């Protein structure tokens, strides 16, 4: 039998789409896309889930948070630098672009997440509505001001492979 090189690497990547709308007219004021960093803790959590660990919803993404700090993301990040607001993900689905792409969507009303938003994070495992809870999966820097006159939709995609 001939030796076959079976070295394969599975890459995990993500990006965040930010859609800011005028709450009264529905007009899109901004539609931005940001690449993100998948942090080390996320990779560890996914590996735990593959091994069958189910405690604390291991490997399950549940919240998106926004913050007001502009420190660059690193692989060692465990939370946002200065979390402002987080919300339970309202839609989880497989992307129409491919079965290896998961999409997570959250909608912020006029009274939520107002301020100069400069960072965002995707959280899972034991995440709750409590600031800094759970495992940070992805983090990115953003640049958008949201006011009480705006709504904000965040669509986070995570691609495996």
In which domain, by residue range, is 43 found?
A: 12-160
pLDDT at 54 over 80: no
Report if residue 121 sits inside a domain: yes
Per-residue pLDDT tens over the stretch 94-145: 888 888 899 999 999 999 999 999 999 999 999 999 999 999 999 999 999 9
| Number of domains comprising the chain | 1
Distant-in-sequence, close-in-space partners of 72: CB < 8 Å, separation ≥ 6: 141
In a domain, 7, yes or no: no
Q: Which residue, 49, 51, 81, is CA-closest to 67?
A: 81
Percent helix, strand and coil across the chain, each to the nearest 5? 10, 50, 40
In a domain, 104, yes or no: yes
Please report whether residue 3 resides in a domain: no
In a domain, 1, yes or no: no
> In the predicted model, is pLDDT for residue 60 greater than 80?
yes
């Amino acid at each position: 039998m001939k030796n076959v090189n079976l070295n394969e690497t599975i890459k995990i990547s993500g990006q965040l789409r930010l859609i800011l709308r005028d709450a009264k007219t529905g007009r899109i004021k901004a539609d931005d896309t940001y690449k993100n960093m998948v942090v080390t803790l996320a990779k560890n959590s996914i590996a735990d889930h593959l091994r069958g660990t189910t405690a604390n919803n291991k490997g399950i993404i549940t919240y998106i948070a926004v913050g007001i700090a502009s420190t660059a993301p690193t692989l060692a990040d465990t939370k946002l630098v200065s979390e402002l607001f987080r919300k339970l993900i309202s839609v989880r689905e497989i992307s129409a672009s491919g079965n290896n792409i998961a999409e997570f969507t959250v909608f912020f009303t006029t009274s939520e997440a107002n301020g100069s938003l400069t960072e965002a994070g995707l959280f899972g495992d034991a995440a709750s509505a409590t600031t800094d809870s759970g495992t940070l999966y992805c983090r990115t820097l953003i640049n958008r001001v949201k006011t009480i006159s705006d709504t904000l939709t965040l669509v986070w995609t995570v691609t495996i492979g």
